Amino acid sequence: MHFEILIEDQSGKRAIDILVPKIIGDQHTFRSFAYKGIGRIPKKLGGGDANKRILLDQLPRLLRGYGKTFSEHNPGAVILICDLDDKCLKVFRKELFNILDRCRPKPKTRFCIAAEEGEAWFLGDITAIKAAYPEAKTAVLKGYKNDSICGTWERLADAIFPGGPASLIGQKMACYRSGKICMGG
């Protein structure tokens, strides 16, 4: 089986590229695609501008394409990984399945939605964070309660990045102002 994994950001792609081979082994294949944010589901489900790399804006067009590509002779599945952010899970899932239900043929698809943010998964393993970032602030990491809704990317940034989330936001805004392309969540 081949898996096409659609992810809302570059940092999620990096994690997937490391983890998926360990999960699926050598008998399956995958490709992962990072987008420049989650965006919004288009009102007319036709899909947005193909040049925009915003995940939900492209989802209707992408799923239709995968439906035509995957078949009995070319088996595959689509996995969408994104954060729930401030959306209602029930409404969001309904919108995603509405897109999928309009595909003819319909690709085999799984929607993986992080209740807070994908960074919560990283915060679940303080030992791994400390191994990767020895200077990480232990008090900040230990103050995190698993599965809490607390702004996880901000907490992780506060623990491992000098200046915390405010510094990262400042860098991202400077990139936008200068016209540079910034990758990440």
Q: What is the pLDDT of residue 51?
A: 66
Per-residue pLDDT of the chain (185 residues; tens, 9 = 90+): 999 999 998 888 988 999 999 999 999 999 999 998 888 888 877 655 666 778 999 999 999 999 999 988 889 999 999 988 778 889 999 999 999 999 999 999 999 987 666 666 777 788 888 888 899 999 998 888 776 677 777 888 888 888 887 876 655 444 434 343 333 33
Residues 6+ apart with CB under 8 A from 12: 34, 81, 118, 185
Q: What is the pLDDT of residue 83?
A: 84
Query: How do strand 108-114 and strand 2-7 relate by DSSP bridges?
Result: unpaired
CA distance linking residue 50 with residue 64, whole number of Å: 13
Residue 54: C-alpha distances to residues 47, 61, 84, 93, 143 (Å) = 11, 12, 15, 18, 33
Q: What is the pLDDT of residue 150?
A: 74
Tokens standing for 132? Answer: 């990767």
Tokens standing for 61? Answer: 């067009």
Count other C-beta atoms under 10 Å from residue 36's C-beta. Answer: 16
Q: What is the pLDDT of residue 164?
A: 80
Instruction: Indicate where the chain has its CATH 3.40.50 domain(s).
Output: 2-114
Q: What is the pLDDT of residue 174?
A: 41
Q: What is the pLDDT of residue 37?
A: 86
Assigned fold of 2-114: Rossmann fold (3.40.50)
